[in-house]
A = this chain, B = another copy of it.
Amino acid sequence: MQIERYIGIMTGTSLDGIDLALVSFHIDPAATVPDLLGIQHLTLPYPPAIVQSLEQLLTTPVNVQTFADLHIAYTYAVADACKQFCEQEDIDLLTITAIGFHGQTVWHNPYPHQFAGYSIRTTLQLGSGSTLANLLHRPVISDFRSADVALGGQGAPLVALFDAAYFRDAHYPVVMLNIGGIANVTILPPASLPSVYIRAFDTGPGNVLINAAAQHFFQQPYDADGQLAAQGTVHPEFLHALQQHPFFMQPPPKSTGRETFHWGWVENILRKFPDISPYDVLATLTYLTAWSIADHIQRFAPETAQQLFISGGGLHNTTLLEYLRQLLPNYHLFSTADKGIDPDAKEAACFAYLAYRTWHHLAGNLPPVTGALLPTILGTIALPPEFVKTP
Q: Identify which of residues 350-391 in chain A touch chain B, using a CB-to-CB cut-off of 8 Å.
A: 360-363, 374-385, 387-391
Binds B, one of A110-118, A271-279, A284-292: A110-118
Say yes or no for A269: interface residue by CB 8 A criterion.
no
Say yes or no for A94: interface residue by CB 8 A criterion.
no
Say yes or no for A131: interface residue by CB 8 A criterion.
yes
**CA A63 to CA B376, docked complex, whole Å:** 31
Q: Is the CB of A362 within 8 A of B388?
A: yes
Q: A128-B143, A134-B151, A362-B391 are in contact. Are A120 and B67 (CB under 8 A)?
A: no
Q: Is the CB of B376 within 8 A of A379?
A: no
Residues of B within 8 A of A387 (CB): 361, 377
**CA A388 to CA B129, docked complex, whole Å:** 21
Tally of this chain's copies: 2
Say yes or no for A58: interface residue by CB 8 A criterion.
yes
Say yes or no for A142: interface residue by CB 8 A criterion.
yes
Q: A107-B68, A118-B73 are in contact. Are A150 and B130 (CB under 8 A)?
A: yes
Say yes or no for A270: interface residue by CB 8 A criterion.
no
In the complex, per-residue mask of A118-141: 1 if CB is within 8 Å of any chain B CB, else 0: 101111100011110111000000
Q: Is the CB of A391 within 8 A of B116?
A: no
Q: A147-B133, A388-B363 are in contact. Are A379 and B382 (CB under 8 A)?
A: yes
Q: Which residue of B lies closest to A142 (CB)?
A: B380
Say yes or no for A250: interface residue by CB 8 A criterion.
no
Say yes or no for A70: interface residue by CB 8 A criterion.
yes
Count residues of chain A with CB under 8 A from any CB of chain B: 74
Q: Is the CB of A388 within 8 A of B360?
A: no
Question: A135 touches which one: B70, B150, B363, B385 (CB < 8 A)?
Answer: B150
Shortest Cβ distance from residue A69 to the other chain B in the assembled complex, whole angstroms: 4
Say yes or no for A149: interface residue by CB 8 A criterion.
yes
Q: Is the CB of B151 within 8 A of A68?
A: no
Say yes or no for A333: interface residue by CB 8 A criterion.
no
Q: Is the CB of A32 within 8 A of B122?
A: no
Q: Is the CB of A117 within 8 A of B391?
A: no
Residues of B within 8 A of A380 (CB): 129-130, 142-143, 380-382
Centre residue among A135, A142, A362, A382 by max chain B CB count within 10 A: A382
Query: Which residue numbers of A lie inside 8 Å of B, CB to CB?
Result: 29, 31-33, 47, 49-50, 52-53, 57-58, 60-65, 67-73, 76-77, 106-107, 109, 113, 115-118, 120-124, 128-131, 133-135, 142-143, 146-147, 149-151, 360-363, 374-385, 387-391
> Can you add 12 more A-B contacts, CB < 8 Å, to A31-B391, A61-B61?
A29-B391, A47-B116, A47-B117, A50-B116, A67-B107, A68-B124, A71-B122, A76-B118, A134-B151, A362-B390, A381-B381, A381-B383
